[in-house]
Amino acid sequence: MVLVTILTGAVSRPAAAIPAFELRDQNERQHSSRTLLRHRKPVLVISGDQRKSDRDIATWHEALRKAGVKGVVIRGLVDLEGVPFFIPNALVRRALRKSNPRLPVLCDYEGKVFKRLELPPGGVAVTVLDPRGKKVGRVRGKASKDGLARIKHLLERSTEKR
C-alpha cells in the first residue's frame, strides 16, 4: 500500500482554507472570507461566470431550500469580469437583486476573487467548504437531484471530525 502511494504520487494533502477576500453583494453590503466563516457552519458558494448565471444561481438556491438543506451558510458569487464596460454595475446589481432577492450574491467585477478561490469557469457550480473554510468538494452544472444528493454527501463529510 505504501509502495503504491509512493509510486503513484497519490499523497493526500490537507485542503487549504479559502484566501482572504472582501466583496460587496448586489445590495452593496460588504462580505469577506471572515464573515463567511464566523458562523462556524459549512458554507455553500454557488458560483457562476457567465452573464446569465444569475438565474442558475437562483435555481440552485431554491433547490437547496426546497430540499431542506439547513445549518449552512449559503452565498452566491458571480464573476463579472467579462461584462462589457458599457453595461453599468448598477444595472448588473439590479438584475441580481431581481433574480436573487433572498440570497446575497457577491459581485466580483474584476474576477480576481473568483480565480483566487479556484472556482471553475464555464457555467454554475456549488462549492462546499467546511466550517474552517477548507474545500470539501464541488458540484458543477445546473441544479439537479443528483447534484443535490452529492451536495448533501459533501455536507456530511464537511462536519465529520478530522
**Is residue 161 very low, low, confident or very high in pLDDT (cuts 50, 70, 90)?**
low
Higher pLDDT, residue 141 or 159: 141
Please give the pLDDT value at position 16.
62
Q: What is the pLDDT of residue 3?
A: 31
pLDDT digits (tens, 9 = 90+) for 63-98: 999 999 999 999 999 999 988 889 999 999 999 999
**Whole-prediction pTM:** 0.85
* Nearest of 130, 102, 108 to residue 42 by alpha carbon: 130
Average pLDDT, the chain: 86
Domain 25-158 = CATH 3.40.30.10 = yes
Task: Supply the pLDDT for residue 162.
Answer: 53
pLDDT greater than 70 at residue 121: yes
Quick check: 146 pLDDT over 90? yes
Q: What is the CA radius of gyration of the chain?
A: 17
Amino acid at 68: G
Residue 13 has pLDDT above 60, yes or no: no
Percent of the chain with pLDDT over 70: 88
Q: Rounded to whole angstroms, what are the CA distances from 34 to 39, 54, 63, 95, 107?
A: 9, 24, 26, 27, 17
Residue 74 makes CB contacts below 8 A (sequence gap 6+) with: 43, 44, 46, 61, 64, 103
pLDDT given at position 75: 96
Interatomic CA distance for residues 96 and 3, integer angstroms: 52
pLDDT, tens digit, for every residue of 41-58? 999 999 998 667 889 999
Cα 11 from chain centre? 26
